[in-house]
């Protein structure tokens, strides 16, 4: 089979055929006058739709609404706001989320049941429904609106996160696009804060669900900014079938190529989230190899990427590798410190659990780079996993010490 996958310049959720998006500033995000804070993603054709959501027992109202509506396996639009999470807002929150969907459905002239809702921002504040209503009336959608939408979902993000890839499968062309927002309260468990994926591929609901789960497990579920799982984590994929390809069948080479491309999109966005973690100055990539099980590899990699001490050492450019081994040791994974080897980029820092003398000057140079890769070889099996995180800076404290006020 001939299969090629290319990134698209300036790709986003409107790169796949038939998707429209738009965004406006409607006044929900206080203190950021003029910043877009309300958006819509829309397909004029009905879509196969699937989602993954926070495992936090305290779920925001829009999360509960989406989980309920996605039981049908279909949807046609997502209305999303930043500035207010609509979480911990009681019964009124549920009413407001449903009303957001209803108002968007009126504008789009579709049934409310085909509209999904997502929110991000401060917890415990009621949704400003008059802003939503006013904003939706001003909304204009276009097939180049994906980047505006990526901007509208930002909170403490410093850059918009968007990408798309084009897949050539034996002459059929499929496009996958995605946007995301992250920054803080990032430690997803089966999903991420907010991310929307679009594709024009033809697929059924079961395939969509399995493909998204698989891609999320290698990407959004392996990224952490601060270990705090949000109440609003939402990852939704809409597939409108506009590419007209033959149905993707589980296990086929074409299906595998699609999942690989989807995973690429999700990994790109997940790495953006880590790189743009609140106050972050560096991206940390943690490979754990030689683990006794995939679960062990995953929890060890995630625990290292989440450890405040590893993150602070990375920030200071301090090759304090003992903290990396200590984090693996507390992760719950099987670890035999006398068999473990640790590498930072090319450098061996530890072998068989013992310090290896290294060139401190060269190590410090690597630690000043914007991306640092740690590789921990447990030498207990053949399973591996990769996680992403960021450094812990004073700026993280500044941002979070004074977020609502």
Looking at the Cβ atoms of 135 and 188, the one nearer to its own copies is 188
The per-type count for the chain, helices as H runs and strands as E runs, is 11, 15
Q: Which stretch binds its own copies (CB under 8 A): 105-113, 147-155, 250-258, 316-324?
A: 316-324
Q: Are 104 and 272 in contact (CB under 8 A)?
A: no
Looking at the Cβ atoms of 106 and 371, the one nearer to its own copies is 371
Long-range contacts of residues 94-99, Cβ cutoff 8 Å, at least 24 apart? 94/61, 94/64, 94/65, 96/61, 96/126, 96/127, 96/129, 97/61, 97/62, 97/64, 97/65, 97/127, 98/65, 99/129, 99/132
Q: Are 177 and 197 in contact (CB under 8 A)?
A: yes
Beta pairing partners, 162: 179
In angstroms, give the least distance from the CB of 192 to its own copies.
14
In angstroms, give the least distance from the CB of 197 to its own copies.
24
Q: Are 278 and 183 in contact (CB under 8 A)?
A: yes
Tokens of 364: 């410090």
Looking at the Cβ atoms of 59 and 147, the one nearer to its own copies is 59
Looking at the Cβ atoms of 262 and 363, the one nearer to its own copies is 363
In angstroms, give the least distance from the CB of 260 to its own copies.
31
In angstroms, give the least distance from the CB of 255 to its own copies.
33
Q: Does 325 bind its own copies (CB under 8 A)?
A: yes
For its own copies, the binding residue among 308, 365, 368, 369 (CB under 8 A) is: 308
Q: Are 198 and 13 in contact (CB under 8 A)?
A: yes
For its own copies, the binding residue among 334, 348, 366, 380 (CB under 8 A) is: 334
Looking at the Cβ atoms of 294 and 320, the one nearer to its own copies is 320
In angstroms, give the least distance from the CB of 139 to its own copies.
28
Q: Would you give the binding string for its own copies spanning residues 136-175, x where CB under 8 A is met?
A: ----------------------------------------
For its own copies, the binding residue among 163, 230, 234, 240 (CB under 8 A) is: 230
Looking at the Cβ atoms of 93 and 146, the one nearer to its own copies is 93
Q: Which stretch binds its own copies (CB under 8 A): 99-107, 213-221, 285-293, 319-327?
A: 319-327
Q: Does 57 bind its own copies (CB under 8 A)?
A: yes
For its own copies, the binding residue among 102, 112, 337, 381 (CB under 8 A) is: 337
Instruction: Identify the helix (H) or strand (E) that includes residue 6.
Output: strand 3-7
Q: Does 381 bind its own copies (CB under 8 A)?
A: no
Q: Which of 66, 85, 55 is nearest to 156 (CA)?
A: 85
Q: Which of 50, 42, 54, 44 is nearest to 69 (CA)?
A: 50
Is 192 tagged catalytic? yes
The DSSP line for 41-73 is EEEEEEEEEEEEE---SS--HHHHHHHHHGGGS
Cα–Cα distances in Å, from 404 out to 125, 153, 173, 394? 10, 18, 46, 18
Looking at the Cβ atoms of 74 and 339, the one nearer to its own copies is 339
Looking at the Cβ atoms of 347 and 403, the one nearer to its own copies is 403
In angstroms, give the least distance from the CB of 242 to its own copies.
38
Instruction: Identify the helix (H) or strand (E) that includes residue 330.
Output: helix 322-330
Q: Does 329 bind its own copies (CB under 8 A)?
A: yes
Give phi and psi for 276, each to the nearest 5.
Answer: -105, 20
In angstroms, give the least distance from the CB of 189 to its own copies.
7
Q: Does 398 bind its own copies (CB under 8 A)?
A: yes
In angstroms, give the least distance from the CB of 168 to its own copies.
41
Q: Does 352 bind its own copies (CB under 8 A)?
A: yes
Q: Which of 54, 192, 198, 234 is catalytic?
A: 192
* Total Cβ atoms within 10 A of residue 130: 10
For its own copies, the binding residue among 7, 90, 144, 250 (CB under 8 A) is: 90
Q: Are 366 and 321 in contact (CB under 8 A)?
A: no
For its own copies, the binding residue among 11, 145, 178, 184 (CB under 8 A) is: 184
For its own copies, the binding residue among 125, 169, 262, 273 (CB under 8 A) is: 125
Q: Which of 130, 131, 121, 119 is nearest to 94 (CA)?
A: 119
Size of interface with its own copies, in residues (CB under 8 A): 71
The residues annotated with a catalytic role in the active site are 192
């Amino acid at each position: 089979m001939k299969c090629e996958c290319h990134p698209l310049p300036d790709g986003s959720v409107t790169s796949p055929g038939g998707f429209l998006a738009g965004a406006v500033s409607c006044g929900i995000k206080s203190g950021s006058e003029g910043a877009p804070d309300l958006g819509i993603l829309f397909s004029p054709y009905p879509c196969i739709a699937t989602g993954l959501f926070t495992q936090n027992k305290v779920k925001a109202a829009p999360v509960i609404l989406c989980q309920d509506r996605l039981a049908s396996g279909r949807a046609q639009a997502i209305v999303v706001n930043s500035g207010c999470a609509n979480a911990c807002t009681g019964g009124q929150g549920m009413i407001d989320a449903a009303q957001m969907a209803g108002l968007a459905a009126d504008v789009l002239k579709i049934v409310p049941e085909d509209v999904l809702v997502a929110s991000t921002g401060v917890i415990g504040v009621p949704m400003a429904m008059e802003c939503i209503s006013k904003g939706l009336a001003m909304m204009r959608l276009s097939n180049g609106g994906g980047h505006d939408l990526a901007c509208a979902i930002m909170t403490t993000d410093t850059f918009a996160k968007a990408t798309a890839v084009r897949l050539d499968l034996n002459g059929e062309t499929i496009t996958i696009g995605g946007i995301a927002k992250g920054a803080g309260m990032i430690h997803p468990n089966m999903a991420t804060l907010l991310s929307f994926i679009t594709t024009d591929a033809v697929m059924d609901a079961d395939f969509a669900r399995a493909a998204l789960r698989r891609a999320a497990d290698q990407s959004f579920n392996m990224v952490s900014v601060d270990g705090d799982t949000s109440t609003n984590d939402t990852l939704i994929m809409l597939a409108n079938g506009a590419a007209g390809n033959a149905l993707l069948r589980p296990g086929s080479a074409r299906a595998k190529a699609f999942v690989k491309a989807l995973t690429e999109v999700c990994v790109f966005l997940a790495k953006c989230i880590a790189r743009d973690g609140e106050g972050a100055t560096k991206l940390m990539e943690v490979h754990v190899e030689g683990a006794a099980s995939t679960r062990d590899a995953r929890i060890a990699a995630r625990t290292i990427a989440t450890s405040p001490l590893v993150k602070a050492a990375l920030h200071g450019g301090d090759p304090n590798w003992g903290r990396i081994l200590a984090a693996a040791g507390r992760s719950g994974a099987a670890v035999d410190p006398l068999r473990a080897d640790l590498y930072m980029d090319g450098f061996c820092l530890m072998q068989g659990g013992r310090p290896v003398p290294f060139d401190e000057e060269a190590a410090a140079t690597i630690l000043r780079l914007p991306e640092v890769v740690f590789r921990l070889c447990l030498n207990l099996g053949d399973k591996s996993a990769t996680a992403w995180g960021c450094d812990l800076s004073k700026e993280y404290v500044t941002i979070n010490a004074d977020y609502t006020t």
